Amino acid sequence: MSGLKQELGLAQGVGLLSTSLLGTGVFAVPALAALAAGDNSLWAWPVLILLVFPVAVVFAILGRHFPSAGGVAHFVGMAFGPRLERVTGWLFLSVIPVGLPAALHIATGFGQALFGWHDAQLLFAELGTLAIVWWVASRGASSSANLQTLVAVLIVALIAAIWWAGDIQVAAIPFPAITDINSSQLFAALSVMFWCFVGLEAFAHLASEFKQPERDFPRALMIGLLLAGTVYWACTVLVLHFTAYGEDRAAAASLPGIVVQLFGVKALWVACVIGYLACFASLNIYIQSFARLVWSQAQFKPESRLARLSSRQLPLNALNLVLGCCVISTLAIYWLEINLDALIVYANGIFIMIYLLCMLAGCRLLKGRYKTLAIIGGILCLLLLAMVGWKSLYAIVMLAGLWLFLPKRSAV
Protein backbone atom coordinates (compact mmCIF):
# COMPACT_ATOMS: atom_id res chain seq x y z
CA MET A 1 0.00 0.00 0.00
CA SER A 2 1.29 3.44 -0.86
CA GLY A 3 -0.38 5.15 2.09
CA LEU A 4 -1.43 8.07 -0.13
CA LYS A 5 -5.11 8.86 -0.47
CA GLN A 6 -6.73 7.34 -3.57
CA GLU A 7 -9.02 10.12 -4.76
CA LEU A 8 -8.41 10.75 -8.47
CA GLY A 9 -10.93 9.91 -11.20
CA LEU A 10 -10.54 9.68 -14.97
CA ALA A 11 -11.55 13.28 -15.76
CA GLN A 12 -9.22 14.62 -13.06
CA GLY A 13 -6.36 12.53 -14.43
CA VAL A 14 -6.94 13.87 -17.94
CA GLY A 15 -6.90 17.42 -16.57
CA LEU A 16 -3.67 16.81 -14.67
CA LEU A 17 -1.79 15.28 -17.59
CA SER A 18 -3.06 17.57 -20.35
CA THR A 19 -2.15 20.72 -18.41
CA SER A 20 1.21 19.19 -17.49
CA LEU A 21 1.97 18.64 -21.19
CA LEU A 22 0.58 22.02 -22.31
CA GLY A 23 2.17 23.92 -19.41
CA THR A 24 4.91 26.31 -20.44
CA GLY A 25 4.86 25.23 -24.10
CA VAL A 26 1.37 25.92 -25.39
CA PHE A 27 1.97 29.65 -25.97
CA ALA A 28 5.51 29.37 -27.36
CA VAL A 29 6.17 26.03 -29.08
CA PRO A 30 3.64 26.35 -31.96
CA ALA A 31 5.39 29.57 -33.05
CA LEU A 32 8.82 27.92 -32.73
CA ALA A 33 7.60 24.94 -34.77
CA ALA A 34 6.14 27.25 -37.44
CA LEU A 35 9.42 29.17 -37.58
CA ALA A 36 11.39 25.92 -38.01
CA ALA A 37 9.14 24.20 -40.56
CA GLY A 38 6.40 26.54 -41.82
CA ASP A 39 3.37 24.60 -43.10
CA ASN A 40 5.29 21.34 -42.59
CA SER A 41 4.74 21.80 -38.83
CA LEU A 42 1.09 20.82 -39.39
CA TRP A 43 2.31 17.31 -40.21
CA ALA A 44 4.90 17.36 -37.44
CA TRP A 45 2.32 17.13 -34.61
CA PRO A 46 0.63 13.91 -35.85
CA VAL A 47 4.08 12.44 -36.54
CA LEU A 48 5.24 13.37 -33.04
CA ILE A 49 2.19 11.78 -31.41
CA LEU A 50 2.88 8.56 -33.34
CA LEU A 51 6.52 8.65 -32.18
CA VAL A 52 5.59 9.33 -28.55
CA PHE A 53 2.82 6.71 -28.61
CA PRO A 54 5.07 3.71 -27.78
CA VAL A 55 6.64 5.64 -24.87
CA ALA A 56 3.21 6.67 -23.57
CA VAL A 57 1.85 3.11 -23.78
CA VAL A 58 4.82 1.78 -21.78
CA PHE A 59 4.26 4.45 -19.09
CA ALA A 60 0.55 3.59 -19.05
CA ILE A 61 1.06 -0.18 -18.71
CA LEU A 62 3.78 0.14 -16.06
CA GLY A 63 1.61 2.59 -14.12
CA ARG A 64 -1.36 0.24 -14.37
CA HIS A 65 0.49 -2.84 -13.14
CA PHE A 66 2.90 -1.19 -10.69
CA PRO A 67 1.27 2.03 -9.39
CA SER A 68 3.60 3.82 -6.99
CA ALA A 69 4.48 7.31 -5.77
CA GLY A 70 8.04 6.44 -6.81
CA GLY A 71 7.10 6.70 -10.49
CA VAL A 72 9.86 5.79 -12.93
CA ALA A 73 12.31 5.15 -10.09
CA HIS A 74 9.95 2.45 -8.78
CA PHE A 75 9.70 0.82 -12.22
CA VAL A 76 13.48 0.87 -12.58
CA GLY A 77 13.89 -0.58 -9.08
CA MET A 78 11.58 -3.49 -9.89
CA ALA A 79 13.54 -4.20 -13.05
CA PHE A 80 17.14 -3.58 -11.98
CA GLY A 81 17.27 -3.37 -8.20
CA PRO A 82 17.27 -0.74 -5.44
CA ARG A 83 20.62 0.80 -6.34
CA LEU A 84 19.51 1.99 -9.78
CA GLU A 85 16.13 2.95 -8.30
CA ARG A 86 17.83 5.44 -5.98
CA VAL A 87 20.05 6.72 -8.79
CA THR A 88 17.00 7.29 -11.00
CA GLY A 89 15.18 9.09 -8.20
CA TRP A 90 18.10 11.42 -7.54
CA LEU A 91 18.55 11.98 -11.28
CA PHE A 92 14.95 13.22 -11.46
CA LEU A 93 15.39 15.37 -8.35
CA SER A 94 18.52 16.97 -9.87
CA VAL A 95 16.18 18.90 -12.20
CA ILE A 96 14.82 20.97 -9.27
CA PRO A 97 17.58 23.64 -9.09
CA VAL A 98 17.32 24.42 -12.82
CA GLY A 99 14.03 23.27 -14.29
CA LEU A 100 11.61 24.66 -11.72
CA PRO A 101 13.14 28.18 -11.53
CA ALA A 102 13.06 28.29 -15.34
CA ALA A 103 9.36 27.36 -15.37
CA LEU A 104 8.72 29.97 -12.66
CA HIS A 105 10.46 32.60 -14.78
CA ILE A 106 8.29 31.73 -17.79
CA ALA A 107 5.11 31.85 -15.69
CA THR A 108 5.83 35.26 -14.19
CA GLY A 109 6.77 36.52 -17.66
CA PHE A 110 3.05 36.88 -18.30
CA GLY A 111 2.93 39.29 -15.36
CA GLN A 112 5.76 41.20 -16.97
CA ALA A 113 3.80 41.42 -20.24
CA LEU A 114 0.66 42.56 -18.43
CA PHE A 115 2.01 44.84 -15.70
CA GLY A 116 5.56 45.64 -16.83
CA TRP A 117 7.19 43.88 -13.86
CA HIS A 118 11.00 43.75 -13.71
CA ASP A 119 13.79 42.44 -11.46
CA ALA A 120 12.66 42.39 -7.81
CA GLN A 121 8.99 42.51 -8.81
CA LEU A 122 9.43 39.34 -10.88
CA LEU A 123 11.30 37.71 -7.99
CA PHE A 124 8.44 38.43 -5.58
CA ALA A 125 5.99 37.12 -8.18
CA GLU A 126 7.98 33.89 -8.42
CA LEU A 127 8.06 33.45 -4.65
CA GLY A 128 4.34 34.24 -4.50
CA THR A 129 3.69 31.57 -7.13
CA LEU A 130 5.55 29.02 -5.00
CA ALA A 131 3.39 30.00 -2.03
CA ILE A 132 0.24 29.37 -4.09
CA VAL A 133 1.65 25.99 -5.22
CA TRP A 134 2.18 25.08 -1.56
CA TRP A 135 -1.40 26.01 -0.70
CA VAL A 136 -2.86 24.04 -3.61
CA ALA A 137 -0.61 21.01 -3.03
CA SER A 138 -1.43 20.95 0.68
CA ARG A 139 -5.11 20.52 -0.21
CA GLY A 140 -4.49 17.15 -1.87
CA ALA A 141 -4.24 15.66 -5.34
CA SER A 142 -7.97 15.93 -5.93
CA SER A 143 -7.99 19.71 -5.39
CA SER A 144 -5.03 20.10 -7.74
CA ALA A 145 -6.76 17.93 -10.32
CA ASN A 146 -9.96 19.97 -10.15
CA LEU A 147 -7.99 23.21 -10.60
CA GLN A 148 -5.99 21.84 -13.50
CA THR A 149 -9.07 20.43 -15.19
CA LEU A 150 -10.50 23.96 -15.08
CA VAL A 151 -7.25 25.30 -16.58
CA ALA A 152 -7.48 22.72 -19.40
CA VAL A 153 -11.06 23.84 -20.11
CA LEU A 154 -9.94 27.51 -20.21
CA ILE A 155 -7.10 26.72 -22.64
CA VAL A 156 -9.41 24.80 -24.97
CA ALA A 157 -12.03 27.57 -24.73
CA LEU A 158 -9.45 30.24 -25.62
CA ILE A 159 -8.26 28.31 -28.68
CA ALA A 160 -11.85 27.62 -29.76
CA ALA A 161 -12.74 31.32 -29.38
CA ILE A 162 -9.79 32.35 -31.55
CA TRP A 163 -10.73 29.79 -34.21
CA TRP A 164 -14.31 31.12 -34.21
CA ALA A 165 -13.37 34.81 -34.26
CA GLY A 166 -10.69 34.21 -36.89
CA ASP A 167 -13.17 32.30 -39.09
CA ILE A 168 -10.76 29.39 -39.51
CA GLN A 169 -12.06 26.94 -42.13
CA VAL A 170 -10.74 23.38 -41.98
CA ALA A 171 -10.73 23.19 -45.78
CA ALA A 172 -8.43 26.22 -45.92
CA ILE A 173 -5.76 24.79 -43.58
CA PRO A 174 -2.55 24.69 -45.66
CA PHE A 175 -1.65 21.01 -45.28
CA PRO A 176 1.28 20.26 -47.63
CA ALA A 177 0.87 17.17 -49.78
CA ILE A 178 2.82 14.21 -48.38
CA THR A 179 5.09 14.28 -51.42
CA ASP A 180 5.87 17.95 -50.77
CA ILE A 181 6.92 17.56 -47.13
CA ASN A 182 10.42 18.89 -46.46
CA SER A 183 11.97 16.17 -44.27
CA SER A 184 14.78 18.39 -42.95
CA GLN A 185 12.27 21.02 -41.82
CA LEU A 186 10.06 18.32 -40.33
CA PHE A 187 12.93 16.94 -38.22
CA ALA A 188 13.90 20.46 -37.16
CA ALA A 189 10.36 21.04 -35.92
CA LEU A 190 10.23 17.66 -34.15
CA SER A 191 13.39 18.46 -32.19
CA VAL A 192 11.71 21.62 -30.87
CA MET A 193 8.34 20.02 -30.26
CA PHE A 194 9.36 16.91 -28.33
CA TRP A 195 9.70 18.92 -25.13
CA CYS A 196 5.92 19.46 -25.18
CA PHE A 197 5.53 15.81 -24.22
CA VAL A 198 7.91 15.89 -21.28
CA GLY A 199 5.53 15.40 -18.36
CA LEU A 200 4.65 11.72 -18.58
CA GLU A 201 7.35 10.94 -16.01
CA ALA A 202 5.82 13.42 -13.54
CA PHE A 203 2.32 12.03 -14.05
CA ALA A 204 3.58 8.52 -13.26
CA HIS A 205 4.13 9.54 -9.62
CA LEU A 206 0.38 10.04 -9.19
CA ALA A 207 -0.63 6.58 -10.43
CA SER A 208 -1.20 5.20 -6.92
CA GLU A 209 -3.63 8.04 -6.09
CA PHE A 210 -6.26 7.02 -8.63
CA LYS A 211 -9.37 5.39 -7.21
CA GLN A 212 -9.00 2.66 -9.84
CA PRO A 213 -5.40 2.91 -11.11
CA GLU A 214 -5.56 -0.26 -13.19
CA ARG A 215 -8.45 1.18 -15.24
CA ASP A 216 -8.20 4.97 -15.08
CA PHE A 217 -4.46 5.73 -15.05
CA PRO A 218 -3.71 4.39 -18.57
CA ARG A 219 -6.92 5.90 -19.94
CA ALA A 220 -6.14 9.30 -18.44
CA LEU A 221 -2.61 9.17 -19.83
CA MET A 222 -3.64 8.35 -23.39
CA ILE A 223 -6.62 10.75 -23.48
CA GLY A 224 -4.52 13.55 -21.96
CA LEU A 225 -1.77 12.93 -24.52
CA LEU A 226 -4.20 13.12 -27.45
CA LEU A 227 -5.94 16.21 -26.03
CA ALA A 228 -2.65 18.05 -25.57
CA GLY A 229 -1.50 17.09 -29.07
CA THR A 230 -4.77 18.34 -30.57
CA VAL A 231 -4.48 21.68 -28.74
CA TYR A 232 -0.89 22.13 -29.93
CA TRP A 233 -1.92 21.37 -33.53
CA ALA A 234 -4.85 23.83 -33.31
CA CYS A 235 -2.49 26.52 -31.96
CA THR A 236 -0.08 25.88 -34.83
CA VAL A 237 -2.94 26.38 -37.32
CA LEU A 238 -3.63 29.77 -35.72
CA VAL A 239 0.00 30.85 -35.70
CA LEU A 240 0.35 29.98 -39.39
CA HIS A 241 -2.99 31.57 -40.34
CA PHE A 242 -2.14 34.90 -38.68
CA THR A 243 1.60 34.68 -39.48
CA ALA A 244 2.23 35.23 -35.77
CA TYR A 245 5.85 34.07 -35.82
CA GLY A 246 9.22 35.28 -36.99
CA GLU A 247 12.85 35.76 -36.03
CA ASP A 248 12.06 39.20 -34.65
CA ARG A 249 9.06 38.11 -32.55
CA ALA A 250 9.01 36.49 -29.13
CA ALA A 251 7.48 33.02 -29.51
CA ALA A 252 5.48 33.32 -26.27
CA ALA A 253 3.85 36.50 -27.58
CA SER A 254 2.28 34.76 -30.61
CA LEU A 255 -1.09 33.76 -29.13
CA PRO A 256 -1.47 36.92 -26.99
CA GLY A 257 -0.76 38.92 -30.14
CA ILE A 258 -3.53 37.09 -32.01
CA VAL A 259 -5.94 37.71 -29.12
CA VAL A 260 -5.19 41.44 -29.22
CA GLN A 261 -5.60 41.47 -33.01
CA LEU A 262 -9.03 39.81 -32.83
CA PHE A 263 -10.49 41.10 -29.56
CA GLY A 264 -8.57 44.29 -28.78
CA VAL A 265 -5.94 45.28 -26.21
CA LYS A 266 -8.38 44.90 -23.31
CA ALA A 267 -8.49 41.15 -24.00
CA LEU A 268 -4.72 40.79 -23.44
CA TRP A 269 -5.26 40.07 -19.75
CA VAL A 270 -7.35 37.01 -20.63
CA ALA A 271 -4.51 35.46 -22.64
CA CYS A 272 -1.94 36.37 -19.97
CA VAL A 273 -4.00 34.92 -17.12
CA ILE A 274 -4.60 31.67 -19.01
CA GLY A 275 -0.91 31.54 -19.96
CA TYR A 276 0.08 31.99 -16.32
CA LEU A 277 -2.38 29.31 -15.18
CA ALA A 278 -1.02 26.87 -17.79
CA CYS A 279 2.52 27.40 -16.49
CA PHE A 280 1.28 27.17 -12.91
CA ALA A 281 -0.40 23.83 -13.65
CA SER A 282 2.84 22.37 -14.99
CA LEU A 283 4.77 23.66 -11.97
CA ASN A 284 2.17 22.25 -9.61
CA ILE A 285 2.26 18.70 -10.96
CA TYR A 286 6.06 18.64 -11.03
CA ILE A 287 6.42 19.91 -7.46
CA GLN A 288 3.84 17.39 -6.26
CA SER A 289 5.65 14.63 -8.16
CA PHE A 290 8.99 15.58 -6.63
CA ALA A 291 7.40 15.56 -3.17
CA ARG A 292 5.96 12.08 -3.72
CA LEU A 293 9.31 10.81 -4.98
CA VAL A 294 11.11 12.18 -1.91
CA TRP A 295 8.48 10.56 0.32
CA SER A 296 8.74 7.20 -1.44
CA GLN A 297 12.55 7.26 -1.31
CA ALA A 298 12.40 7.96 2.45
CA GLN A 299 10.36 4.80 3.13
CA PHE A 300 13.51 2.76 3.78
CA LYS A 301 13.88 4.81 6.97
CA PRO A 302 10.37 4.96 8.48
CA GLU A 303 11.43 7.14 11.42
CA SER A 304 12.44 9.95 9.05
CA ARG A 305 10.20 13.02 9.00
CA LEU A 306 10.19 12.80 5.20
CA ALA A 307 8.61 9.34 5.39
CA ARG A 308 5.59 10.63 7.32
CA LEU A 309 2.21 11.61 5.94
CA SER A 310 -0.06 14.33 7.26
CA SER A 311 -3.49 13.64 8.74
CA ARG A 312 -4.88 14.07 5.20
CA GLN A 313 -2.47 11.40 3.86
CA LEU A 314 -0.25 13.95 2.11
CA PRO A 315 3.59 14.05 2.10
CA LEU A 316 3.71 17.59 3.50
CA ASN A 317 7.22 17.32 4.95
CA ALA A 318 8.57 16.21 1.59
CA LEU A 319 6.58 18.99 -0.11
CA ASN A 320 8.08 21.58 2.24
CA LEU A 321 11.58 20.30 1.47
CA VAL A 322 11.04 20.48 -2.29
CA LEU A 323 9.58 23.99 -2.11
CA GLY A 324 12.42 25.08 0.18
CA CYS A 325 14.92 23.92 -2.46
CA CYS A 326 12.93 25.85 -5.08
CA VAL A 327 13.07 29.03 -3.01
CA ILE A 328 16.83 28.72 -2.46
CA SER A 329 17.46 28.00 -6.16
CA THR A 330 15.27 30.92 -7.26
CA LEU A 331 17.05 33.34 -4.93
CA ALA A 332 20.49 32.06 -5.97
CA ILE A 333 19.71 32.37 -9.69
CA TYR A 334 18.40 35.91 -9.12
CA TRP A 335 21.39 37.09 -7.08
CA LEU A 336 24.00 35.39 -9.29
CA GLU A 337 22.21 36.47 -12.51
CA ILE A 338 22.49 32.98 -13.99
CA ASN A 339 21.29 32.49 -17.57
CA LEU A 340 18.45 29.97 -17.28
CA ASP A 341 18.18 29.47 -21.04
CA ALA A 342 21.68 27.99 -21.09
CA LEU A 343 21.07 25.70 -18.13
CA ILE A 344 17.66 24.33 -19.11
CA VAL A 345 19.12 22.57 -22.16
CA TYR A 346 21.11 20.34 -19.83
CA ALA A 347 17.98 19.52 -17.83
CA ASN A 348 16.34 18.33 -21.05
CA GLY A 349 18.99 15.61 -21.31
CA ILE A 350 18.01 14.45 -17.81
CA PHE A 351 14.39 14.01 -18.88
CA ILE A 352 15.38 11.95 -21.93
CA MET A 353 17.61 9.77 -19.74
CA ILE A 354 14.71 9.15 -17.33
CA TYR A 355 12.49 8.19 -20.28
CA LEU A 356 15.22 5.83 -21.51
CA LEU A 357 15.52 4.18 -18.08
CA CYS A 358 11.74 3.71 -18.03
CA MET A 359 11.81 2.06 -21.45
CA LEU A 360 14.62 -0.26 -20.32
CA ALA A 361 12.54 -1.17 -17.27
CA GLY A 362 9.64 -1.89 -19.62
CA CYS A 363 11.86 -4.22 -21.66
CA ARG A 364 12.56 -6.15 -18.47
CA LEU A 365 9.10 -6.13 -16.86
CA LEU A 366 6.73 -6.35 -19.83
CA LYS A 367 6.05 -9.13 -22.32
CA GLY A 368 4.69 -9.52 -25.83
CA ARG A 369 3.71 -6.46 -27.81
CA TYR A 370 4.26 -4.17 -24.82
CA LYS A 371 7.88 -5.28 -24.62
CA THR A 372 8.21 -4.53 -28.34
CA LEU A 373 6.83 -1.03 -27.73
CA ALA A 374 9.35 -0.55 -24.91
CA ILE A 375 12.19 -1.48 -27.27
CA ILE A 376 10.88 0.99 -29.89
CA GLY A 377 10.54 3.67 -27.19
CA GLY A 378 14.09 3.00 -26.02
CA ILE A 379 15.43 3.45 -29.56
CA LEU A 380 13.51 6.72 -29.83
CA CYS A 381 15.06 7.96 -26.57
CA LEU A 382 18.55 7.08 -27.81
CA LEU A 383 17.88 9.06 -31.00
CA LEU A 384 16.70 12.02 -28.92
CA LEU A 385 19.88 11.90 -26.84
CA ALA A 386 21.84 11.99 -30.09
CA MET A 387 19.78 15.01 -31.25
CA VAL A 388 20.67 16.87 -28.05
CA GLY A 389 24.30 16.28 -29.03
CA TRP A 390 27.23 16.85 -26.72
CA LYS A 391 24.95 18.52 -24.17
CA SER A 392 23.49 15.09 -23.43
CA LEU A 393 26.85 14.31 -21.80
CA TYR A 394 25.58 16.21 -18.75
CA ALA A 395 22.86 13.61 -18.19
CA ILE A 396 25.27 10.73 -18.83
CA VAL A 397 27.85 12.16 -16.41
CA MET A 398 25.14 12.79 -13.78
CA LEU A 399 23.91 9.19 -14.11
CA ALA A 400 27.44 7.78 -13.84
CA GLY A 401 28.34 10.10 -10.95
CA LEU A 402 25.26 9.14 -8.96
CA TRP A 403 25.93 5.44 -9.57
CA LEU A 404 29.53 5.76 -8.41
CA PHE A 405 29.24 8.23 -5.53
CA LEU A 406 25.71 7.99 -4.11
CA PRO A 407 26.24 6.57 -0.59
CA LYS A 408 25.01 3.04 -0.04
CA ARG A 409 22.11 2.58 2.32
CA SER A 410 22.93 0.92 5.57
CA ALA A 411 21.07 -2.30 6.28
CA VAL A 412 17.88 -1.77 8.28
- Delineate the domains of the chain, giving CATH numbers in brackets: 10-405 (1.20.1740.10)
Reply yes or no on whether the pLDDT at 12 is more than 50: yes
Q: What is the pLDDT of residue 108?
A: 86
Cα distances (Å, whole numbers) of residue 264 to 77, 115, 154:
54, 17, 19
pLDDT in tens, 391-405: 778 888 889 999 998
CA-nearest of 156, 338, 313 to 234 is 156
Cβ–Cβ contacts within 10 Å for residue 411, how many?
4
Measured CA to CA, the distance from residue 366 to residue 376 in angstroms comes to: 13
Measured CA to CA, the distance from residue 358 to residue 372 in angstroms comes to: 14
pLDDT in tens, 353-405: 999 999 999 999 999 999 999 999 999 889 888 877 777 788 888 899 999 98
Write down the mean pLDDT value for the chain: 87
Percent of the chain with pLDDT over 70: 97
Q: What is the pLDDT of residue 84?
A: 93
Q: What is the pLDDT of residue 340?
A: 66
Measured CA to CA, the distance from residue 277 to residue 280 in angstroms comes to: 5
Measured CA to CA, the distance from residue 70 to residue 294 in angstroms comes to: 8
3-state secondary structure of 8: strand
Measured CA to CA, the distance from residue 305 to residue 225 in angstroms comes to: 36
Measured CA to CA, the distance from residue 406 to residue 223 in angstroms comes to: 38
pLDDT in tens, 135-176: 998 888 888 888 889 999 999 999 999 999 999 888 888 888
Averaged pLDDT for residues 119-137: 91
Q: What is the pLDDT of residue 412?
A: 45
Cα distances (Å, whole numbers) of residue 70 to 101, 221, 294:
23, 17, 8
Confidence of residue 349 (pLDDT cuts 50, 70, 90): confident
- Lowest mean pLDDT segment, chosen from 1-5, 26-30, 277-281, 297-301: 1-5
CA-nearest of 291, 321, 279, 325 to 71 is 291
Confidence of residue 409 (pLDDT cuts 50, 70, 90): low
Reply yes or no on whether the pLDDT at 1 is more than 50: no
176 CB burial (10 A radius; 0-12, 13-18, 19+):
middle
170 CB burial (10 A radius; 0-12, 13-18, 19+):
exposed
**CB 75 within 8 Å of CB 361:** yes
Averaged pLDDT for residues 272-281: 90
Q: What is the pLDDT of residue 345?
A: 67
In angstroms, what is the C-alpha Rg of the chain?
A: 21
pLDDT in tens, 297-322: 888 887 888 888 888 788 899 999 99
Cα distances (Å, whole numbers) of residue 103 to 24, 308, 367, 376:
7, 28, 37, 30
Cα distances (Å, whole numbers) of residue 321 to 318, 327, 387:
5, 10, 34
pLDDT in tens, 204-236: 888 888 988 888 999 999 999 999 999 999 999
Q: What is the pLDDT of residue 187?
A: 81
Reply yes or no on whether the pLDDT at 411 is more than 60: no
Contacts for 253 with CB less than 8 Å, ≥ 6 apart: 113
